[in-house]
Amino acid sequence: MAGTATSTADALMRPYTGDVPGASLLILKDGKPVVRRGFGYANLEHHVPATPATDYRLASVSKQFTAAAILLLAEDHKLSLDDSIRHWLPTLPAFTDRIQLRQLLDHTGGLLDYEDLIPPAQTEQVSDADVLRLIARTDHGYFPPGSAYRYSNTGYVLLGLVIEKASGMTLPAFLKARIFAPLHMDRTLLYEYHRGPAVPNRAYGYSLVDGHWQRTDQSVTSATRGDGGIYSSIDDLARWDAALYDDRLLSAASRHLAFSPHVRVTGEPYEAQYGFGWRITGDTLWHSGESMGFRNVIVRWPKRHLTVILLSNRNDPEPYQTVLKIAQPWLAD
């Protein structure tokens, strides 16, 4: 069966092979890597191949780490999930008094999308502080808090700022001290474009334009942090996946909160519910991540002890369906 599964994965990964922006693929079964490979290039211009150690911008796959950080602070009694976002960020407008941290975690807060508030002519990257200022000038949300679902990068940017306020540490330092270092995710970091440190083994993002791959690594919204700023490799994400099965990082109660369906996902092209930083579809826990030049997904089948992770430094194809097909031979027995 393993041979068939590997050949299926090779066939499905063929678009990533050759002189093209690439990908790294990991299949974990019963805690062991059964496929662990790089395809194509992490850096086209210098012909640097993608490997299992290549670090990709995770984009929204980062949200599960932001959610875990909030849950760790709740375990520390530094904050409560029922706290108002305005309690922590008092420059926000009065209507945000009713928005709880848990509603930002599951995208039911209703805050306006910061992306829609950026002036059209702006070329300078938007910071977390800029997002806070943009939302501070609003006087309404999309709906009353807790009444509906709308995917919100705004909410996760603000959660990143709450982590800093509640912990007394910078967001990169907290994530390193409480998540990355304890799990020996030694090549993972929250990247700050203007500050560093540099990303080790960095993959650069590309987009297909008029039949040619062009580097499109940064956009106006690539500098925000809590919603998508982490860089990591499949090797480090294997350590993250392992920690989600036991108490080495999060308590059983916190993991239950993260993996429980709190709200039905709407306005997105798949059936799912949302936990805290995770989508839930059937027996799978998963999340995708898309930003300029990167497309990623992690899909976990905890009952089968199976995880498939595909990280890519290109704008196409979207990898979720590819990963579901790659997993089929492992699910068929």
Known catalytic membership, residue 60 = yes
What is the predicted pLDDT for the residue at 327?
Answer: 97
User: What are the strands, taking DSSP E only, across the chain?
Assistant: 23-29, 32-39, 41-43, 48-49, 56-57, 189-190, 206-209, 212-215, 230-232, 263-264, 273-274, 279-281, 284-291, 294-301, 306-312
Provide the pairing of β-strand 189-190 with 41-43.
Answer: unpaired
As a whole number of angstroms, the distance between CA 178 and CA 250 comes to 10
As a whole number of angstroms, the distance between CA 90 and CA 176 comes to 27
As a whole number of angstroms, the distance between CA 214 and CA 243 comes to 37
What is the predicted pLDDT for the residue at 38?
Answer: 98
As a whole number of angstroms, the distance between CA 191 and CA 169 comes to 16
Domains in the chain, CATH or no CATH each: 2-332 (3.40.710.10)
What is the predicted pLDDT for the residue at 219?
Answer: 83
What is the predicted pLDDT for the residue at 6?
Answer: 81
Considering 24, 60, 167, 312, which one is annotated as catalytic? 60
Q: Enumerate helices (H) and strands (E) in the chain, giving the number of each.
A: 10, 15
As a whole number of angstroms, the distance between CA 137 and CA 144 comes to 18
Q: Per-residue pLDDT for the chain (333 aa), expressed as one digit of tens each?
A: 566 678 889 999 999 999 999 999 999 999 999 999 999 999 999 999 999 999 999 999 999 999 999 999 999 999 999 999 999 999 999 999 999 999 999 999 999 999 999 988 888 888 999 999 999 999 999 999 999 999 999 999 999 999 999 999 999 999 999 999 999 999 999 998 777 789 999 999 999 999 999 999 888 777 889 999 999 999 999 999 999 999 999 999 999 999 999 999 999 999 999 999 999 999 999 999 999 999 999 999 999 999 999 999 999 999 999 999 999 999 986
Residues present in the chain in total: 333
As a whole number of angstroms, the distance between CA 108 and CA 150 comes to 6
Evaluate whether 4 touches 328 at the Cβ level (below 8 Å).
no
What is the predicted pLDDT for the residue at 3?
Answer: 66
